[in-house]
Structures are given as C-alpha cells and as structure tokens.
Amino acid sequence: MPYTASPLIPSATADHQFSTQNLPYGVFSTSSNPTQRIGVAVGDFVLDLTSCADLLTQSVEGLTAEDVTSSNLNSLMGKESKVWKGLRAQIFSLVTGSAPGLTTSNFVSLTAVTMHMPARIGDYTDFYSSREHATNVGTMFRGIDNALQPNWLHLPVGYHGRASSVFLDGSAVVRPQGQLQKNKEDPKEGSIFGASKLLDFELEMAFFVGGPANPPGTPITMAEAEDRIFGLVVMNDWSSRDVQKWEYVPLGPFCAKNWATSISPWIVSLEALEPYRAATSAREQKDPEPLDYIKDPNYSSYDIALEVTIQGENMSAPETVSKSNFKNLYWNVKQQLVHHSITGCNMSPGDLLGSGTISGTPQDSFGSMLELCWKGTREVKLGESGEVRKFLKDGDTVSMSGVCKKEGVGCVGFGSVTNKIYPAGTKLAASGANGVWKAA
Ligand SMILES: O=C(O)/C=C/C(=O)CC(=O)CC(=O)O
Ligand SMILES: [Ca+2]
Ligand SMILES: [Mg+2]
C-alpha cells in the first residue's frame, strides 16, 4: 500500500518520524491552555483529541469521552484493544482526509507543547532479555563459566522495579548515594557510604500494558498477549553499578535501580510497528525450546534502530556511544507479558514493563557503559571531542532515540528520552510535576 499523506498536515511526509503510519499517543499542554490532555503526533503538529472528542466518540464503538479527554491515557488503555484499534483507524481517516471533520484548528505545533507523563504507572517491572547483555554482565560479575545462569534460556528473567521513580524525558537525574563495597576485591571487609562512582545508563524499550486487567489467577495467554500491549516507548534504566555490585546477592537489584528510570513521551502502538515486524537476531528458540505456555508460534520482534548519545558539559554536540536494535532481544514482548502473568499475576492498564538492556554482538552495540568500558578496563571515546568516559560524569546529558525506517512505508519514530545528570545531593524543586524534575 503506498504511503498516505495528510492534506491538512503536509509536514507528515513518509520520512517524518511522525508520519501517518505512526500516530503515537502522548499527553501535552500548551502555555495558552495548561490543561493536560491527550494528543497524537502528526508531522510537526499534535492533534488535540479533546478538541475533536465528539467526532471520535461518535464513530468509534466503545470509545467514551473520558478515554480521549482525560489528563492521562489510563482510561483508553483500559479498554479492549478493538477500541484502541478503532480509534487509530478513525484518526488515520481524519488525518489523511478520507473522513471529514478536522481543520487545522484541531492541531497545535509540536514546538508549542510541553509533554507530560502519558499514564499513571501502577507497577513497573524490568526484564533482562538480551542474551548478549546478560552474558556480558554475567561474565563481569560472576566469571565466564557462570555468565548465563541455567534458567536464562528457559524464562525471561526480571525484577520488580519502582513506579514512583519513573520520570519523563527532560527530567533532571541526581547521582545516587549509598552503600558501596569498601574493598573492590574483598566483600568481607564490609562497606562505606558515598556517592556512586559507577553511574550508568541502560538502553531499553518498555511497553505499557493495556486492556481490561485479567483477574488474579487467570494468566494472559500467548494468543491474547498482543491485545494486552498498548504500545512502546524508549527507556533509560539508570543504574548504579557500585551499589549494585555490593547489594545484589541474592535478591537482585534494589537501591541500584530504584532512583530513576526515564521514558520518552510518545507511545507507539504495535499496529504502527506491524510493517517493521522482523525476525529476532536469535531467529529461533530451539535449544532449549520454551515451555508451551511461553512458546510464540509467531516468534519475532520489531526492527527498531536505537541510538545512545552522551554530551558532556564542555562538549559542543552529543556524540554517539552505542547503536543497537530492538531485534536483539531473545525474549519478545509477548513472551515477557505471558511469563509475568503465568502465576496468575493481574496485569493492569498503565503497568510499565521494561525490555532489559538491549545489547547486540558488536562492541559498539552494547547498551550500557558497564559493557562499553568493560567494567572500567577501557575508555570510551566521545567522537572527536577529545573527551573519554568510563562511567557517567556529573553534567553529562544522555539521550536515547528509536526509529523504524523502510522504503515505501511511513517512518515510525519514538522521539527521544534525554536527561542531564546532577551532582549527588542536588536539591530538586518540590514538585516534579508530570514526571519532569528540575533543579531547585
Ligand atoms: O545481576 C545481574 O546479572 C544484572 C542485573 C541487572 O543489571 C538488572 C537489569 O536491569 C537487567 C537489564 O536491564 O537487562
Ligand atoms: Ca535494566
Ligand atoms: Mg530504574
């Protein structure tokens, strides 16, 4: 099918990250109207769903005014997937002009919007689904012989994270302090208190759970999984490696990862990503075959190019430190969701499930500084800036972006998640309204 342009929004060309193939949801406000409301990005503009709520609810079965006029996406996320699909189809028709009713007054310029947290996140879980990342971290923490634990190829390993410290693109991030092992070589010497020195990013994506919650005791099946995934964002799972090293045995990450996780503001649906469905880098899961409940008969992922940049305070431009791809995950989003609920865990609309760090095989596709600097044994060059890093410095701005591009298909971009690191002890303003904290 040829690309369908928008007569109303000529900037929404096939190669714009917000082409008419994308239609991602976000929550925004403007200085002239500070009400937080739901929008859909189209080219250089945002379609204000509140401004056309009647048009939408009249034509989409099951859609209520609350779903499109709330200050977050939870109500819409909680609807059956056929309602989100109906809404996407109707927005596509309106934006591309095959259905009448919209004028340019329904849109605001992207440059005029302030983005807000897209949803109230009830629970946040983070997986560990890149075989390359798990092997690299395992080798560094436990040695090459114990790199991949015996369970890893049988289930998507994960841990329960902390929803209250999921922040948005643009938020300040303060270097954490905590307990650190006193002697690097000998844990028996105990700990000291201090600012984390081994501050790291983790290149991840995450998905928002959608659909009515399954009751406790009723797992989500593989056949149902795509109807319970509302859409994806790019995510940075900020990590303190020295805190992690001392605390993680035997229960896994705790304080090392409870202080900041940041996400990009636009949620991209699986329907937008469908033309980008691709084999995973692993191609198949044969050795071992997953148990039946977690076997995906359509085992695949999405071809999403991911990039991480760092800009130090004295640098004039950001420099790329990693290029990876969402295809690099061994366990896909369906398998993560199905496994999370197999015990009967009730998954609620607005829950956020992180993919785990997305590393590929080549060194320049590693998704964390821990791997890029191989626990401090090599320096990572920041382009031609003359600067090098092992772990992150105060004042560094870390940015992650994701984009899908293919000839003949509209581009699907995620925008980016960009955050600056402030020194330990920096006071942030009293309210991090909408997930964006600023230095006081
Ligand atoms: O103990 C380990 O092997 C490492 C655990 C993590 O770093 C947890 C994590 O955030 C996983 C990930 O992002 O892939
Ligand atoms: Ca992580
Ligand atoms: Mg985190």
42 and 78: one domain? yes
- 188-202 pLDDT, tens digit per residue, is 999 999 999 999 999
Domain range spanning residue 364? 124-439
Q: Cβ atoms within 10 A of the Cβ of 410, count?
A: 24
- 116-134 pLDDT, tens digit per residue, is 999 999 999 999 999 999 9
DSSP 311: E
For residue 8, being part of any structural domain is answered with no
Q: Average pLDDT of 65-81?
A: 98
Q: Which residue in 163, 195, 191 sits closest to 176, CA to CA?
A: 195
DSSP 380-407: EE-TTSS-EESSPPTT-EEEEEEEEEET
DSSP 350-389: T-EEE------SSGGG-SBHHHHTTTTTSPEE-TTSS-EE
ipTM (interface predicted TM): 0.91
104 and 138: one domain? no
Which one of the ligands is nearest to 252 CA?
1
CA distance 373 to 391: 8
Residues at the annotated binding site for substrate? Answer: 128, 142, 244, 248, 357
For residue 39, being part of any structural domain is answered with yes
CATH number of residue 75's parent domain:
2.30.30.230
CA of 130, closest atom in ligand 1: 14
384 and 235: one domain? yes
Q: Which residue in 402, 165, 163 sits closest to 268, CA to CA?
A: 402
- 232-256 pLDDT, tens digit per residue, is 999 999 999 999 999 999 999 999 9
196 and 220: one domain? yes
Q: Which residue in 342, 80, 124 sits closest to 218, CA to CA?
A: 342
Q: Average pLDDT of 280-295?
A: 97
- Please identify which of the residues 133, 160, 339, 340 carries the catalytic annotation: 133
Ligand 1: residues whose CB is within 6 Å?
126, 128, 133, 137-138, 141, 202, 237, 248, 253, 257, 356-357
111 and 138: one domain? no
Which one of the ligands is nearest to 137 CA?
1
The vertex-249 CA angle with 369 and 149, nearest 5°, equals 75
CA distance 340 to 353: 9
Q: What is the structure's pLDDT at 177?
A: 98
- Residue 338 and residue 221 in contact, taking contact as beta carbons nearer than 8 Å: yes
For residue 3, being part of any structural domain is answered with no
Q: What percent of the chain has pLDDT over 90?
A: 97
138 and 101: one domain? no
Position 95 pLDDT exceeds 80: yes
- 204-232 pLDDT, tens digit per residue, is 999 999 999 999 999 999 999 999 999 99
Pick from 91, 116, 141: which residue ends a domain?
116
Pick from 94, 116, 138: which residue ends a domain?
116
Residues within 5 Å of ion ligand 3, judged at the Cβ atom: 237, 257, 261
Pocket test for ligand 1, best of 125, 135, 137 (most atoms within 8 A of CB): 137
Q: Average pLDDT of 7-31?
A: 98
Q: What is the structure's pLDDT at 422?
A: 98
For residue 17, being part of any structural domain is answered with no
Pick from 116, 148, 169: which residue ends a domain?
116
Q: Cβ atoms within 10 A of the Cβ of 299, count?
A: 17
Residues of 386-404 as b/e, b for ≥16 C-beta within 10 angstroms?
ebebbbbebebbbbbbbbb
For residue 73, being part of any structural domain is answered with yes
For residue 4, being part of any structural domain is answered with no
CA–centroid distance, residue 237 to ligand 3 (Å): 4
- 350-375 pLDDT, tens digit per residue, is 999 999 999 999 999 999 999 999 99
- 252-269 pLDDT, tens digit per residue, is 999 999 999 999 999 999
DSSP 237-298: --EEHHHHHHH-TTT--SGGGSS-EEE-SPBBPHHHHGGGEE--TT----TTPPPGGG--TT
CA–centroid distance, residue 344 to ligand 1 (Å): 24
133 in active site: yes
DSSP 204: E
CA distance 139 to 170: 34
CA–centroid distance, residue 192 to ligand 1 (Å): 23
CATH number of residue 152's parent domain:
3.90.850.10
Residue nearest to atom 11 of ligand 1 (CA): 128
CA–centroid distance, residue 169 to ligand 2 (Å): 17
Residues at the annotated binding site? Answer: 126, 128, 142, 202, 204, 237, 244, 248, 257, 261, 357
Q: What is the structure's pLDDT at 239?
A: 98
Position 417 pLDDT exceeds 90: yes
Q: What is the structure's pLDDT at 203?
A: 99
Q: What is the structure's pLDDT at 35?
A: 97
3-class DSSP state for residue 156?
Answer: coil
Q: Which residue in 176, 324, 330 sits closest to 246, CA to CA?
A: 176
Which one of the ligands is nearest to 371 CA?
1
* Distances in whole angstroms, Cα of residue 106 to Cα of each of 85, 174, 268: 21, 38, 21
Q: Average pLDDT of 49-76?
A: 98
Residue nearest to atom 6 of ligand 1 (CA): 253
Residue nearest to atom 10 of ligand 1 (CA): 356
For residue 18, being part of any structural domain is answered with no
31 and 158: one domain? no
Q: What percent of the chain has pLDDT over 70?
A: 100
432 and 334: one domain? yes
- 300-309 pLDDT, tens digit per residue, is 999 999 999 9
Position 434 pLDDT exceeds 90: no
Band the pLDDT of 1: cuts 50, 70, 90: confident
29 and 148: one domain? no
Q: Which has the minimum average pLDDT: 8-17, 72-81, 139-148, 336-345?
A: 139-148
Position 29 pLDDT exceeds 80: yes
3-class DSSP state for residue 180?
Answer: strand
3-class DSSP state for residue 313?
Answer: coil
- 164-183 pLDDT, tens digit per residue, is 999 999 999 999 999 999 99
222 and 132: one domain? yes
Mean pLDDT score of the chain, rounded to an integer? 97
Q: What is the structure's pLDDT at 345?
A: 98
Position 430 pLDDT exceeds 90: no
Band the pLDDT of 104: cuts 50, 70, 90: very high
Is the pTM here over 0.95, yes or no?
yes
Q: Average pLDDT of 81-93?
A: 98
CA–centroid distance, residue 238 to ligand 1 (Å): 11
129 and 63: one domain? no
Q: What is the structure's pLDDT at 433?
A: 83
Q: Number of folded domains in the chain?
A: 2
For residue 1, being part of any structural domain is answered with no
70 and 129: one domain? no
Token representation of residue 335: 């398998």
